[in-house]
Structure 1
Amino acid sequence: MSSTSSPVTTASQPPSAQSGQSGGSKNTPRLRTRRKHTPGRPKRSVLLTVLTGLIMLYTVVPLVWLVISATKTQEGLANSSGLWFSHDFALWDNISKTFTYHDGIFVRWLLNTLLYVGLGAGGATLLAILGGYALAKFNFPGKRAVFAVVIGAVAVPGTALAVPTFLMFSKMGLTDTPWAVIIPSLVSPFGLYLMWVFATEAIPTELMEAARIDGAGEIRTFFQVAMPLLAPGTVTVLLFTTVATWNNYFLPLIMLKDPNWYPLTLGLDSWNSQAQTIGGDVIFNLVITGSLLTIVPLIAAFLLLQKYWQSGLAAGSVKE
């Protein structure tokens, strides 16, 4: 009986056990296990890496060229490579000349731009917050029609409305004044839509009802309950409207004739156009330096306010 049961026992054992008993475990092939992709070890993609590198070059190379070119004199711009420094380092001299050229008109353009951004972008952000909050948390007749109008306004480019806006403001006598730039900047359909969507998810209806039960009015509920929750969306809309107003070129071009009311974009373009006029002063080095100074506040704003974006992305990711 013992001799017949031994083969059965051996056959029932797995092959790994048999090879281990025979001492041939070193020659047994090991099965490849699939690598697990965790958040700490994401899946690698060569195509995505290459595309990201190309986008980085497309974004960084113009900025590098601008920084390097701002360190050159007018002669150095013509006699040196665009992506390398010249023998003369003139960054501080270029900055000084930019602020003092033509009786310091660059400072006036900078103050005009800050005025347009402060009133235009700030007002557009405030109106987007109020409108988005009302559309998200209140029901009223015609809400669907308002939604259709907002979506349609987002799809219409601003340049298509420039000429009708100019005709309307010329009838009102507001052209060639700061209000011709500030008032159109107060309307931001995309900012309104963004705040509408954000307020819908960021403000729980139960929290508003609890505040009302405790005796808070609508104004107090908005400022003490809703506004802190809308901070990430508010910063996002503020940055979008700030960049749009700061870089606005076409609207001031058709609205303004007095150089004293030019923003930075229009003022630097007028400096650049001097080289095309007979007897005009060629100051490409000041145009480049002024362009570098123009983007510094925007970069600083993005770096200082990015923590609000991070908090907005993380909002609602943890379920209690």
Structure 2
Amino acid sequence: MSTTGNTPAQDAPATARRAPAGTATGAPLRSKILVTGILALFTAYFAVPVLWVFVASTKTASDLFDSFGLAFAGEFALFGNIAGVFGANDGIFWRWTLNSLLYSVFGALLATVLAAAAGYALAKYRFRGRELVFGLVLGGVLVPAAATALPLYLLFSQIGLANTYWAVLLPGLISPFGLYLCRIYADASVPDAVIESARLEGAGEGRIFFTLGLRMMAPALVTVFLFQMVGIWNNYFLPLVMLADEELYPITLGLVTWQTYQSRDVGMYTNVVTGSMLSVIPLVIAIVVLQRFWRGGLTAGAVKG
């Protein structure tokens, strides 16, 4: 006679099958907690110095040494410190800011255009020695910038460009990493069929590149521009080697010269800290403004057939 109820022997396999499911659910949960913890540590590692600089910029010179670094002091002196930065040394911080903007924005813009043109040519044109040129570019990525600073100084001294704006601008026009990224992105995002169609319509190579190639490579160009701008803005060693006139200094080098004055003027320490905080603002603005172009370009490239 058959029965409708389940026997213990029938229930046992079902229980055994449910046990691994619970274990599998617990494993991803533990992995998520571990990954979240690691990301939180990295976030704190990068955020705490920025937080310290901002908090320190709100303190007086005495509070900087008498209070906890990550806690606000009794007197909020941020606006007074900012006024002190722009008023020190006859307002030379304004000049340093304009110099940094010139070096980084103008240099990064030209470097991006050159990297885009070279990367597009290496990706879409077939010529003898193409892979050799690309290999040399990859080799240039591995060369540290400090190793080329002294040879560049000797070269620029021979041609009379040392201690001029060109001594910092011209080296910033070369971006091996940008060329590498543009070559890879152009190869993947600019279809050969589009180029051939444009040629059949009578468009020249320059027009094809500027009207079609640059638009399709927009996400890579924004990435190259941001990397190059941040690299030039934070560059310290090259201006130190090339420049002797304080009127030509970028912010990075100018703040270091102020730091050497601390033995004679303790208040200069406040100017250095506040100037460091102000030097971060243009980079934050650039990233926030360009982020929508970056994401928009990636989305547009994803829906193209």
Q: For 1:146 and 1:42, how far apart are their aligned partners in 2? A: 48
Equivalent residue in structure 2 for 1:261, among 225, 236, 248: 248
CA shift at 1:100, angstroms? 1.2
**Who is 2:238 aligned against?**
251
Amino acid at match of 1:66: V
**Who is 1:226 aligned against?**
213
Distance 1:152-1:29 versus aligned 2 partners, 3 A rule: closer
Q: For 1:132 and 1:47, how far apart are their aligned partners in 2? A: 40
CA shift at 1:139, angstroms? 0.7
Rg bigger for which structure? 1
Q: For 1:195 and 1:297, how far apart are their aligned partners in 2? A: 25
Q: How big is each residue's C-alpha offset from its partner over 1:227-264, in whole Å with a ceiling of 9 and x where there is no partner?
A: 11111111000001100111110000011011010000
CA shift at 1:223, angstroms? 1.7
**Who is 1:3 aligned against?**
none
Q: For 1:281 and 1:68, how far apart are their aligned partners in 2? A: 18
Distance 1:119-1:317 versus aligned 2 partners, 3 A rule: closer
1:13-24 alignment to 2 at 5 Å? 17-19=4-6
Task: For structure 1, list consecutive stretches of 5 or more residues without a partner in the other structure.
Answer: 1-5
Contact 1:71–1:91 (CA under 8 A) maintained in structure 2: yes
Distance 1:295-1:179 versus aligned 2 partners, 3 A rule: same
Equivalent residue in structure 1 for 2:136, among 123, 142, 149: 149
Distance 1:217-1:314 versus aligned 2 partners, 3 A rule: same
RMSD: 2.5
Q: How big is each residue's C-alpha offset from its partner over 1:3-48, in whole Å with a ceiling of 9 and x where there is no partner?
A: xxx4xxx2xx8xxx4339xxxx9xx95952848x9xxx99843321
1:26-105 alignment to 2 at 5 Å? 31-32=17-18, 34=21, 44-105=31-92
Q: For 2:16 and 2:241, how far apart are their aligned partners in 1? A: 74
Equivalent residue in structure 2 for 1:172, among 159, 176, 179: 159
Q: How big is each residue's C-alpha offset from its partner over 1:69-97, in whole Å with a ceiling of 9 and x where there is no partner?
A: 00001111011110101111000111111
- Does the residue aligned with 2:5 lie in a helix, a strand or coil? helix
Equivalent residue in structure 1 for 2:198, among 196, 207, 211: 211
Contact 1:274–1:282 (CA under 8 A) maintained in structure 2: no
Contact 2:218–2:294 (CA under 8 A) maintained in structure 1: no
Amino acid at match of 1:257: A
Contact 1:124–1:186 (CA under 8 A) maintained in structure 2: yes
**Who is 2:278 aligned against?**
293
Q: How big is each residue's C-alpha offset from its partner over 1:177-219, in whole Å with a ceiling of 9 and x where there is no partner?
A: 1111011111111111111111110101111111112222212
1:168-207 alignment to 2 at 5 Å? 168-207=155-194
Equivalent residue in structure 1 for 2:227, among 240, 260, 263: 240
TM-score, normalisation: structure 1: 0.86
Distance 1:146-1:42 versus aligned 2 partners, 3 A rule: farther
Q: Pick the structure with more helix per residue.
A: 2
Task: For structure 2, list consecutive stretches of 5 or more residues without a partner in the other structure.
Answer: none
Contact 2:96–2:247 (CA under 8 A) maintained in structure 1: yes
Amino acid at match of 1:114: L
Identity value in percent: 44
Contact 1:177–1:261 (CA under 8 A) maintained in structure 2: yes
2:290 is aligned with 1:305? yes
CA shift at 1:284, angstroms? 1.0
Equivalent residue in structure 2 for 1:112, among 99, 105, 124: 99
Deviates more, 1:190-199 or 1:46-55: 46-55
Q: How big is each residue's C-alpha offset from its partner over 1:104-142, in whole Å with a ceiling of 9 and x where there is no partner?
A: 000000111111123321111110011011111101111
